[in-house]
Structure formats: structure tokens, C-alpha cells
């Protein structure tokens, strides 16, 4: 099993406007970090935590174990300024990708002194299942004023090669194979194709086998001839346990799948929502020609573990 880990980080920004007619900005907090809580990391795989925004009057500092607002006052699912705006860094060293989720609190909604804000899922309208939370400098929202709360979530794909060994449960003819795993196509994070949304991770696709070496971090595919398999896609295996922050992406390829002209697999390619990856096999990862034999008489099972955590 090969593990790839992505990072996540969050920021917030608030705009307070004088009234619904003029919409003159009277408070602009600028961008500041917010804390992604533990159940927020869980929801990144098991739900969609980017639907609603909550405001409250509580002032208890945010901690990772929180599951709800301190003192809930109001919620909104109404899009605000810059909602959905995508941005991507299509170059080294990080190739990070961001999207803004913005929600508007209209005149007469949330008229209070706001000291905490959070984001959560579509099924929660009371701030009891949050993705993130932050205590902010107090914003006094008058009865005629309008508030936009923006959260920018940034995904940080794995950019460093992962060196490993396929374990004894997955040997070929009793031979353990060393591996190099690397992302692909990271310079395409411009919001138009692979990175079109920050919706929860998943969506396994594009499993292919190649007889050439792995490509660079900006290549679309590994090198050499390719075989697209027998139509089977990877599947998320097992039941997610809160706190795991990973899922195992398993695929099973039948007799007719991944049979290359050489009947040797050097590199595998796969994808989930947000990034594409490749794994090269060989007793010595640097050796040209080291590969796994795969004929029409063989079946093959393989598992990638996809994990995520807060970016330090």
C-alpha cells in the first residue's frame, strides 16, 4: 500500500456594509488564518462542509476538538461577494489551489456583536457541526447593515516523492518491489479541469498502466505505452472511522486488464478529485526496466491510501 498525504489550510475575511442600498464598506478585516477542527477534517471525506456560514457572540478560543459554535446567533447559505472564486498556483514549489466560499447576512439578520465565525454542512442550520472556527475582533452589526463572511480553503497537494515498498501481502513471485510515488499534472490547477472545486475528496478515476518510467510532476501521464485496464475503477474500501483522515483506494484488475505489449508494468496512474498520481515499481526504483509482470493469465490488486491533514 502506498500513502499520499495532502494538506489543508483556511483563512477568513469579513466585509461589513452600511446598508443594502449603498453597500459601502465600513469594515474590511483582511485575510487571517482560521482553524480547521477535527470533525472538519472528517467531513472533508464524509460530507460537504462548505455550504453554510455561522456567526456567533462567543469568545472562547478555537480548539481542534470543537464540534459546534460557542454561542450561535445566525446562519446563512446565501452567496456573498467572491463566492466560488478559484485561484491556483501553477508553479513550484507548492502548486496549491484555493477556493472562496462566501455567505451573506442581510439587513436584520445576525444583528449582534459578532466575535466568532465558522463554516459547516448543508444539513446543519444551527452551527452544531462545523468545519472550522475562529474568534475575531468584534464586529457590531446594526439592523440595517449587511455582512459578508468569506472563507478561503487551500489544498496543498503532495509535491515530494514518496519512496516505499509494496508489502509482503502484495508481492509478485515472492519479490517485494520498491516504489516511487509522485503526483502528476500539478501545473493544471487553474480551476478549469482537475481542480474545479474544493468539494470533498473522492471521485476515483483514470487508472492506467504504463511500461515506461514515471513522469515529472507536471506531466499528464507516465512514459511509455499505456493500457486503460478492463473498465474497472478504483473503489473506496472499508468504513471511514472519525479521526482517520484517510481512505484506502483499492482497485482490482482482471485477466484482460493492464496487459501491455511487453507484459510488464513499470508505472501505474490513478486520480481522485483534486490530484493525479503515479507509482513506479522496481527492485531498484532507479533501475531502467524493472517492472511487474502482468499477462492475460494474471489478476492484480493494488491500494493507494489517500490522506489529508492541516498544513503546518
Strands 246-253 and 300-310: antiparallel
**276 vs 133, residue with greater confidence:** 133
pLDDT-based confidence at residue 283 (cuts at 50, 70, 90): low
74 has pLDDT over 90: yes
3-state secondary structure of 124: coil
Distance, in Å, from the CA atom of 108 to the CA atom of 110, rounded to the nearest integer, reads: 7
Cell 522496481 found at: 282
Tens digit of each residue's pLDDT (9 = 90 or more) over 157-186: 889 999 887 654 445 556 677 889 999 888
Supply the pLDDT for residue 191.
40
pTM of the predicted model as reported, rounded to 2 decimal places:
0.86
The answer on pLDDT for 230 being more than 70 is no
Pairing outcome for strands 2-17 and 300-310 = parallel
Query: Around 55, how many Cα atoms within 13 Å sit in the side-chain half-sphere?
Result: 29
Average pLDDT over residues 111-128: 86
Q: Which three cell numbers, joined as nine digits, stand for 222?
A: 507516465
Residue 174: the pLDDT is 62
Angle at 13 (CA atoms; ends 12, 19), nearest 5 degrees: 145
pLDDT, tens digit (0-9, with 9 covering 90-100), for 148-159? 999 999 989 889
Bridge partners (DSSP) listed for residue 21 = none
| More confident site: 172 or 13 | 13
What kind and span of H or E run contains 162?
strand 162-165
Distance, C-alpha 69 to centroid of its chain: 24
**DSSP code of residue 175:** B
Instruction: Give the position of cell 446594526.
Output: 142
- State the cell numbers at 281: 515499481
The residues, any chain, with a CB within 8 Å of residue 90's CB and separated by 6 or more, are 186, 187, 188, 189, 190
Say if residue 289 is exposed, middle or buried (CB neighbours under 10 Å; 0-12, 13-18, 19+): exposed
Find, among 178, 211, 182, 206, the residue nearest to 194 by Cα: 206
Say whether the peptide bond before residue 239 is cis (omega within 30 degrees of 0).
no
pLDDT for residue 198: 60
Q: Which of 44-48, 240-244, 259-263 has the highest mean pLDDT?
A: 259-263
Amino acid at each position: 500500500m502506498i500513502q499520499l498525504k495532502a494538506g489543508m489550510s483556511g483563512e477568513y475575511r469579513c466585509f461589513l456594509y452600511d446598508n443594502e442600498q449603498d453597500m459601502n464598506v465600513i469594515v474590511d478585516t483582511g485575510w487571517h488564518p482560521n482553524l480547521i477542527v477535527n470533525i472538519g477534517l472528517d467531513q472533508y471525506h464524509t460530507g460537504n462542509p462548505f455550504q453554510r456560514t455561522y456567526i456567533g457572540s462567543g469568545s472562547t478560543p478555537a480548539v481542534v476538538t470543537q464540534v459546534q459554535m460557542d454561542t450561535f446567533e445566525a446562519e446563512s447559505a446565501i452567496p456573498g461577494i467572491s463566492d466560488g472564486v478559484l485561484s491556483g498556483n501553477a508553479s513550484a514549489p507548492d502548486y496549491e489551489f484555493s477556493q472562496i466560499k462566501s455567505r451573506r447576512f442581510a439587513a436584520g439578520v445576525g444583528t449582534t456583536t459578532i466575535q466568532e465565525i465558522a463554516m459547516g454542512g448543508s444539513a446543519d442550520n444551527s452551527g452544531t457541526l462545523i468545519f472550522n472556527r475562529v474568534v475575531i475582533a468584534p464586529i457590531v452589526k446594526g439592523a440595517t447593515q449587511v455582512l459578508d463572511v468569506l472563507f478561503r480553503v487551500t489544498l496543498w497537494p503532495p509535491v515530494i516523492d514518496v519512496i516505499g515498498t509494496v508489502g509482503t501481502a502484495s508481492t509478485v513471485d515472492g519479490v517485494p518491489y520498491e516504489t516511487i510515488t509522485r503526483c502528476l499534472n500539478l501545473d493544471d490547477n487553474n480551476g478549469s479541469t482537475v481542480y474545479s472545486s474544493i468539494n470533498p475528496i473522492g471521485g476515483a478515476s483514470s487508472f492506467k498502466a504504463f511500461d515506461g518510467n514515471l513522469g515529472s510532476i507536471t506531466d499528464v501521464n507516465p512514459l511509455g505505452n499505456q493500457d486503460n485496464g478492463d473498465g474497472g475503477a478504483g473503489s473506496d474500501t472499508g468504513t471511514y472511522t472519525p479521526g482517520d483522515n484517510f481512505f484506502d483506494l483499492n482497485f482490482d484488475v482482471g485477466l484482460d486488464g493492464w496487459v501491455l505489449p511487453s507484459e510488464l508494468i513499470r508505472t501505474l496512474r490513478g486520480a481522485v478529485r483534486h490530484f493525479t498520481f503515479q507509482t513506479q515499481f522496481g527492485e531498484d526504483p532507479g533501475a531502467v526496466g524493472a517492472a511487474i509482470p502482468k499477462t492475460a493469465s494474471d489478476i492484480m490488486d493494488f491500494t493507494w491510501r489517500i490522506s489529508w491533514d492541516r498544513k503546518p
